[in-house]
A and B are shown apart, each in its own frame.
Chain A
Amino acid sequence: MIYFDHAATGMPKSEGVVNAVASAMRFCGNPGRGSYELAHAGDRALFDCRNALAREFGALPENCVLTKNTTEALNIAVKGFVFSKKEPVHVLVSDFDHNAVSRIIYDLERSNKIKTTVFESDLFDDKKTVQNFENSITEKTSLAVFTHASNVCGKIFPVKEMRKIAKSRGITVITDIAQTAGILDINADDYGDIICLPGHKSLYGPAGTGAMIISSGFDGQLYPLLHGGTGILSADMKMPKSAPERFEAGSLNAPAYAGLHAALKEKDGINKKLPQKIYKYLLGELKNMKGVTVIGAPDEDNEEYRVPIILINLWGYHSQEAAEMLAKENIAVRGGLHCAYKAHKKLGTLKTGGVRISIGRGNTMVHAKALIDILAGKMSR
């Protein structure tokens, strides 16, 4: 199997990650729940993971809240912010969000907790995107939720610039970095008051890991979405005031976070340039291939402003049929709408969806050439 679905989850996980999970399953008790060695080993697994996340994203370990994925992190952050306010909140969101943002916003809007304005992103002109964002700000705007890069076409949006504007206007920023964590160097405070990320995509940790990271400068309130045991301050019926425990009710998956810690330790030794080289090669070939439409792709001068994701459609095929056809050839890609209705609406692909080819560290040029050969063979018939 040639795997081109790294935007869904990074594969394969390393032996180091697998071994760390297996070891923690043997030797970690329930973190925060005992004074014996097994429980302390569980504590240590969580602390080591927080420390590694803190180093990776320029944050404090106590501000690294462990979640099961980006979606959970976004729910804790966005709803936590909105529920801490008495009055409805005016929120700015982009027209390229994943459903992990869109469905939260939809639900909060329906329950009259927020008023939303969608600002228009421009795929090819970042200045326009920034201008559109700035023009959408009103006196009542108190929250902006950004998507750093599209999970559909790989476009990286000018979040750093928008964050600066938001900061100067006192607007809290929550950013979904699901597709850039592990690919770009990210300092939390540059990208938002809160950044939400997966551990299992380009960081190559285990499935079921993620984090909500609060920037050091954030002094706002977040209402805790979950209530329950934290192993500390048990005589108090209120949740602890401080992160991370305030947002981590219930038993945590110490083995998975031990795996994420192992993945973060390995990260610096990984060649980041190869996925970009494969991306450029595939993009060039696909743009010139008969019967293939490349959607939302950059021109040659702007390829560096993308994470390695390419969206295509094959003439005469629905995207799901095309993905199935490739699966029969042992190529793993993803068809459909990629849980991103808004992005596909913007790209004009709601009817057919698209075939997403996402490249990761396990890919080689041999994989890329095999994909091109198969597609060229199919489309020349």
Chain B
Amino acid sequence: MDTVIVLTSMTYAYKAQEILNRYGIKNFLTRNAQTSRIRGCGYGLIIDGNQSGYVQKLLLENGIKIAGITGEKKR
């Protein structure tokens, strides 16, 4: 299962992506259904579910506001 980290804004999404890229953590920007379930229309980063805890900690330490975490089934 992948995890979608939903961010509170486009700016945070791109800023978060830069941080994860810097740490070599593979991620993909998304605006899928999961990002819309949290208060409608958002930006998310899809990451490996196993890294979810580490990524959340990393983003929070770098001042990124996280709106929510959801799971995404692999297809």
Contacts and interface: CB of A to CB of B under 8 A. Distances in A.
Contacts, number: 56
Interface string B24-36: 0000011110000
B contact patch SS: loop
A35 B41 CA distance: 11
Given A35-B32, A47-B15, A240-B9, 5 more contacts: A43-B14, A44-B14, A61-B15, A233-B8, A235-B41
Contacts of B32: 35
Contact of B40 (A47, A61, A233, A245): A233
A235 B39 contact: yes
Contacts of B65: 242
A233 B21 CA distance: 25
A62 B39 contact: no
Interface string A229-248: 00111111000101011000
A47 B41 contact: no
Interface in A13-34: 31-32, 34
Given A35-B32, A62-B15, A47 B8 contact: no
Nearest to B17: A47
B10 to A, nearest CB: 5
B6 to A, nearest CB: 10
B40 A62 contact: no
A174 to B, nearest CB: 22
A62 B62 CA distance: 13
B74 to A, nearest CB: 19
A201 B27 CA distance: 38
B30 A232 contact: no
Contacts of A8: none
Given A232-B41, A233-B41, A235-B40, A240 B8 contact: yes
B40 A234 contact: yes
A240 B10 CA distance: 12
A50 interface: yes
